[in-house]
Structure 1
Amino acid sequence: MADPAHALETPRRALVVDDEPSLVRVVVGYLQAEGFDVESVGDGPAALGLARHHDFDVVVLDLGLPGMDGVEVCRQLRTFTDAYVVMLTARADEVDMLIGLAVGADDYITKPFSPRELIARIRTLLRRPRQSGPAAAAAGPFAPRVFGDLVVDPAAHEATLKGRPVELTKTEFDLLDILSARPRVAFTRPMLLEQVWESGEWAGGEHLVDVHVAHLRRKLGDDARDGKYVRTIRGVGYRMGEG
């Protein structure tokens, strides 16, 4: 088991979602040794039910769940929680990994794995700054979001860079609003099309997203290779940069 001396200083909550009882027992034991309060379930609907009623910090989620797979569970989780999600899979297929990350997973680990490695990755995730979480939730979805010199203010429908307003079209701001609201999510182009454009305005197809992202980057003084504010996730789409 993990060394109790390295346990987390404050209690956190974790949810383990896997249909292999032996693996669940091991993962739960290591998380408890880290100071987590842990719940475990073996299917997607049960996981979503628990997550809606409890504020989990971490969700360890198997990709190959019966009925509702881990990708769909993760996609639904991302509609109401900012918990860190580590996906587990029996396949090392890069496509699976990209799909998982595209719907909002934070990390990915292939079975069989060392429980110590899983704990190390969770520790790394917990050290990341979060754009949302309890403080942001208390402030509400319209609280300003800060990414270095860039501030996105949904309530004012305004973005400022180094204190100066950035002249954005409605579509450009809507793109920035969606990306900044869930900065750890890599959005596919179809996801952005669905959320920004009405269905009748999709004439340009997925290329429409690329064009508007290019305009947005130009106005932010951002470089596609750098991705300071808008990052390109190769083979997936776009996500917010750290500023």
Structure 2
Amino acid sequence: MLDTRLYHHLVTWLGQWPTSQALQIVGSERRLRPAWDGSIRPAIGVGTPAGVLLSVPPPRVDAVRAIADLPMPDLLDKLPGAVGYDGWRALHAVFRFSTEPAPLPDAGEWLPVADPVVPSWLRPFGDEVLIARDEAGDYLAGVGIKRHDPYGNELAVGTEPAARGRGLARRLVAQAARRVLDEGAVPTYLHDPANLASSKVAAAAGFPDLGWSAYGVFGPEGP
């Protein structure tokens, strides 16, 4: 049975859920409004073994349906133009979620993004971010929360090269996931299929790979 929070997140984020079609294209006004970071996401999709639901701006539904019979790599190549954003990129990711994070010990502390120790990549997340520091107080690794809606929050993690291999990322992700669940949402985690390090972090933190995928169209700044 699908977790209620995840169901409401997908309905809110995509405009509809679930799908039993190989590829279903739906129009959603959400694609015309700024996302968690203020940027537009003109196409967002989630796929399961049962099929893919692709959410696009309502005026672009027909244009996307016109390329729906293409193999997925070709469809993704043409998707930015079909939603009116030539020059942008369409990306595919592994989509994971967790309702039972791994019982790993905490590895960091929550700090306001304005704190001087917070690196620049974490500042767009707003509110508070989770930071691991060394004995001197210097930044080692961190997690930001993409607050998509009240039901689903996506985690993003980064570790300094010199601090990798210590298990910090998995502990931080599990710690952040527990906070998201305590706040009433379900934590999600997306990563490039080729990023084996990120895949291992997710699995170790309690985010299994259930064969789900995510798709999106992003500007030059990336996801």
> Does the TM-score normalized on the shorter chain lie above 0.5?
no
Higher relative contact order (CA closer than 8 Å, sequence separation 6+) = 2
Which TM-score applies when normalising by structure 1?
A: 0.23
Q: Which has the larger radius of gyration?
A: 1
Return the structure number with greater helix share.
Answer: 1
More strand by share: 2
Question: When the two structures are superposed, what TM-score results if normalisation uses the length of structure 2?
Answer: 0.24
